[in-house]
């Protein structure tokens, strides 16, 4: 499975625009799921184009939580692809442009490879992706807390990778068993995570591609 960061506070690849927010494309078994949509539709669509990723090829959109920097680009994307299925946490209001919305409350199987932790306290869901080497967890801002997210994801198997915004997270020892950590977006203590896990932690940024298989 492959994760391409489309929208982030920083850029990794020249030519892409950085802005506060998060979005990444997750590909597994030929299925393309867009996790969150960043803050501004124009930047999301521009970065997708620069990365040669066709919005029409996305079959699912997964929104982590109801904050502007994660669903701000949703309406613009839906204008280009109305046939996409949108997975929203239950606390999120339904976007009028969407044809098919799945309101997520508890843990949910989306497909053979994709699962949701369900909406955790903190009004946020995280994506769980099954790979041959274990699970990869993609999170938006980690408002429920990284420990709670990893615990919920563990219901689906052994977590091996974590990608996304970790906010003010500081309980670094919960990352000890992971093979890949990509703390990006709103992560406040990225430098400490990188220093503590130099072999497994990597920086994010728009254009960064992570392969987990």
Site for Zn ion in 139-168 (CB under 5 A): 141
Return the percent helix, strand and coil in the chain, to nearest 5. Answer: 20, 30, 45
State how far the alpha carbon of 19 is from the alpha carbons of 80, 87, 99, 191, in Å. 21, 24, 28, 20
Comparing CB distances to Zn ion, the nearer of 28 and 44 is 44
Query: Least Å distance between CB 186 and Zn ion?
Result: 5
Considering only the stretches 107-115, 133-141, 151-159, 200-208, report the one whose residues sit in contact with Zn ion under the rule CB under 5 A: 133-141
At closest approach, how far in Å is the CB of 117 from Zn ion?
A: 15
Of 152 and 186, the one with the shorter C-beta distance to Zn ion is 186
Residue with tokens 């009004």: 123
Site for Zn ion, residues 31 to 70, rule: CB under 5 A: 67, 69
Min separation Cβ 179 and Zn ion, Å: 25
Q: How far is the CB of 20 from Zn ion (least distance, A)?
A: 8
Do 41 and 77 meet the contact criterion of CB atoms below 8 Å apart?
A: yes
Q: Compute how many residues bind Zn ion; rule: CB under 5 A.
A: 4
CB of 170 vs Zn ion, minimal distance in Å: 17
Report how far residue 58's alpha carbon sits from residue 184's, in angstroms, rounded to the nearest whole number.
23
In the three-class reduction of DSSP (H, G, I as helix; E, B as strand; rest coil), residue 4 is classed as strand
CA distance 10 to 159: 26
Report the residue number, 131 or 203, with the smaller CB distance to Zn ion: 203
**Counting every residue, how long is the chain?**
213
Q: Give the residue nearest to Zn ion (CB).
A: 141
Give the residue with the Cβ less far from Zn ion, 69 or 76.
69
Positions 68 through 107 that interact with Zn ion (CB under 5 A):
69
Considering only residues 170-209, where is the footprint of Zn ion by CB under 5 A? Answer: 186
Residue 24 touching Zn ion (CB under 5 A): no
Nearer to Zn ion, 130 or 140 (CB): 140
| E strand map for 8-90 | 23-28, 31-35, 60-62, 85-89
- For residue 90, the minimal CB distance to Zn ion (Å) is 16
* Cβ nearer to Zn ion, comparing 27 with 36: 36
At 189, phi and psi to the nearest 5?
Answer: -115, 45
Q: Are 210 and 182 in contact (CB under 8 A)?
A: yes
| H runs (alpha helix) in the chain | 41-50, 68-71, 74-80, 146-153, 190-196
Instruction: Point out which residues bind Zn ion (CB under 5 A).
Output: 67, 69, 141, 186
């Amino acid at each position: 499975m492959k994760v391409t960061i489309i929208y982030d506070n920083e850029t990794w690849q020249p030519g892409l625009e950085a802005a506060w927010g998060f979005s990444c494309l997750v590909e597994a078994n030929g299925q393309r799921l867009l996790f969150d949509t960043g803050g501004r539709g124009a930047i999301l669509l521009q970065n997708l184009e620069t990365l040669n990723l066709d919005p029409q090829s996305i079959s699912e959109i997964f929104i982590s939580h109801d904050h502007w920097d994660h669903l701000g680009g949703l309406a613009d994307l839906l204008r280009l692809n109305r046939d996409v299925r949108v997975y929203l946490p239950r606390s999120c209001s339904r976007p009028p442009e969407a044809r098919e919305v799945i309101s997520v409350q508890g843990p949910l199987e989306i497909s053979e490879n994709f699962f949701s932790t369900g909406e955790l306290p903190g009004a946020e869901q995280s994506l769980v992706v099954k790979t041959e080497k274990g699970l990869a967890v993609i999170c938006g801002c980690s408002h429920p807390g990284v420990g709670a997210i990893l615990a919920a994801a563990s219901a689906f198997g052994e977590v091996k990778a974590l990608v996304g915004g970790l906010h003010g997270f500081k309980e670094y020892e919960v990352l000890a068993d992971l093979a890949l950590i990509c703390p990006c977006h709103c992560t406040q203590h990225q430098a400490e995570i990188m220093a503590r896990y130099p072999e497994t932690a990597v920086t994010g940024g728009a254009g960064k591609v992570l392969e987990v298989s």
